[in-house]
Amino acid sequence: MSDSHYIGIDVGTGSARAALISSTGEILALATKDIKTWNDKPDHYEQSTKDIWESIAYCTKQILKESGVAKESVKGVGFDATCSLSVLDAETDEPISVVEGFAEPERNVILWMDHRPVEETKKINATNHPLLKYVGGQMSIEMEMPKILWLKNNMPADLFNRAKFYDLGDVLTHLATGAETRSFCSTVCKQGYVPVGIDGSVKGWNEEFLSSIGLGELAQNEFARIGGVDNVSGKYLSAGQPVGELSVKAAEELGLAPGTKVGSGVIDAYAGWIGTVGAKVPGETQEGMGEAYTRLSLVAGTSTCHLVMTPEAVFVPGVWGPYKDVLLPNQWLAEGGQSATGSLLHHVVTTHPSYTATLASAKSENKSIFDYLNAHLTTLATKHPSNSISYLARHFFFQGDLHGNRSPIADPQMRGSVVGLSFDTGVDNLALHYYGAMEFVALQTRQIIDTMNRAGHRIDKIFMSGGQCRNSVLMKLLANVCDMPVYIPKYIDAAVVLGAAFLGVVAAGDGKEGLWEVMRRCTGECTVVDVERKEGEKRLLDAKYKVFLHMTEAQRQYRKEVDEALGEGEWWKEEK
């Protein structure tokens, strides 16, 4: 074993994880601990930096204990986290409450999936400010400026004026080192920061934009409350560049050695790109950075992010970005996304009348309910001459934007719809609904890829990460619907935390080895799911894609017609 080891820390929606890796990228130990989420009101989700940090500390101590590795051999640490808004007191560094009432400081994180700032998001996008073109034409309700504006509109003024704001990944590097350094990843991707030199950007932050949306006070003191001006009153770094060293306090809490290097963090989905896209494809020779430009990273969990790098800016309406410098200096990244994928499959299965009985059957066979349903679908398909699961659902049409649409239409008001309901409530019907949800995930992925390629991207491969990689039916659907191979990483469930660990490798090397070089050296080989379908199935899936696009547009048209009929007034009050 090498004398050097590295730790990746991943904070997802529901848990924190830590992985200890060798200098060649082998995972030697992995630990997970749940984190707490409050959901007192619909669309309101809060977390706690204190609770998250304690969960991280448990995990780091656990992996050292499990591996037997001495803390002194850990040379670098990297963080990734959800793109959630974290709030601390600018004077005391203590948490500030973000929950209505603002009396519970522990609840100081507004989770990414929180959709409370509906009106604030509308106000921001109504400005049509030029910088919005770098976030797909409009800010998402899941980004952080709408959440900051909501806090201003609802928080006591004196409390808001004391608050400083971080992306969750940046607050973790702050807690680890004491530095106020921010990552390009968080600020460019989610907060409206435009790197200096792009479109005349002088300070990164745009004072005129902040004033136009009602947050002009954030420009005071050279934007100190949101990170400052790069190389003037603040510091901004690309992924893995050294932020600093673990403080004595943080090192003690994490069970690590003071002075351990800490790399600039990234949003969790971006760590998935780092942990997968550099993988070696069996039978292919390495071609340098050009490979990255054709590889779409699908980071699948509760939601799914679609990430691809380009050497130049490529603008795609409804797709976030292009973002410069967020992972590699002078490279651009675009981010599409689906607001609900894993959570969609879970919801569809667990709310069906046959869920309880089917779960019992799955447990009796020592299977997960998803494996059980996949096997059931395969059995049903063998009863038809086509032997095709797709054929079973030929007249079942599922639109699954239950939590709004992130890409490519960027419509938070989208909701789900189904055509093909019946009175059947048995396991066959549950399997049909489950398959319909998977088909939706694949069809919408194709829509995102088609939209990006029409705009100038060159995507021809999908690199997956996350537990959905284990779902063979879904992986085959993605390959067949999108008509391109799907590559599965060596560490299916740990690609994101592996990517975070690579940030620690880069930080410990002090720039001697770039991120792409670390990725190519340490990611390992992947396996491939090839496109395999008969001509009839191709026609079927192409037809289902046309129906999916029609259902999406039809829903938007239905809402438009009803809204036009109601007009601007509150007609129910007028008629009283």
CB atoms within 10 A of CB 133: 17
Tens-digit pLDDT string for the chain (576 aa): 458 999 999 999 999 999 999 999 999 999 999 999 999 999 999 999 999 999 999 999 999 999 999 999 999 999 999 999 999 999 999 999 999 999 999 999 999 999 999 999 999 999 999 999 998 788 989 999 999 999 999 999 999 999 999 999 999 999 999 999 999 999 999 999 999 999 999 999 999 999 999 999 999 999 999 999 999 999 999 999 999 999 999 999 999 999 999 999 999 999 999 999 999 887 777 667 888 999 999 999 888 999 999 999 999 988 989 999 999 999 999 999 998 999 999 999 999 999 999 999 999 999 999 999 999 999 999 998 888 999 999 999 999 999 999 899 989 899 999 999 999 999 999 999 999 999 999 999 999 999 999 999 999 999 999 889 999 999 999 999 999 999 999 998 899 999 999 999 999 996 689 999 999 999 988 999 999 988 899 999 999 999 999 999 999 999 999 999 988 667 666 665
Query: What was the pLDDT predicted at 1?
Result: 42
- Cα–Cα distances in angstroms (integers) from residue 388 to residues 376, 446, 477, 570, in the given order: 13, 20, 11, 51
Specify the CATH superfamily of domain 5-263.
ATPase, nucleotide binding domain (3.30.420.40)
β-pairing, 332-338 vs 320-324, is: antiparallel
DSSP assigned state of 281: P
pLDDT tens track for 423-439 = 999 999 999 999 999 99
Beta-bridge partners for 228: none
Nearest CA among 443, 495, 473, 353 for reference residue 12: 495
- Cα–Cα distances in angstroms (integers) from residue 567 to residues 277, 319, 420, 531, in the given order: 49, 30, 32, 49
Helix/strand/coil for 416: coil
Query: What was the pLDDT predicted at 569?
Result: 67
Q: CA 214, CA 145: separation in Å to the nearest integer?
A: 11
Query: What was the pLDDT predicted at 283?
Result: 75
Instruction: Give the dihedral sign, CA 474/479/483/488.
Output: positive
Query: Is the CATH number of domain 342-446+532-564 3.40.50.300?
Result: no
Query: What was the pLDDT predicted at 567?
Result: 83
**Boundaries of every domain in the chain:** 5-263, 342-446+532-564
> Hey, what's the torsion of the CAs at 361, 367, 368, 373, to 10 degrees?
-60
pLDDT tens track for 86-134 = 999 999 999 999 999 999 999 999 999 999 999 999 999 999 999 999 9
CA angle, 129 then 131 then 132, to 5°: 70
Amino acid at 133: K
Query: What was the pLDDT predicted at 571?
Result: 67
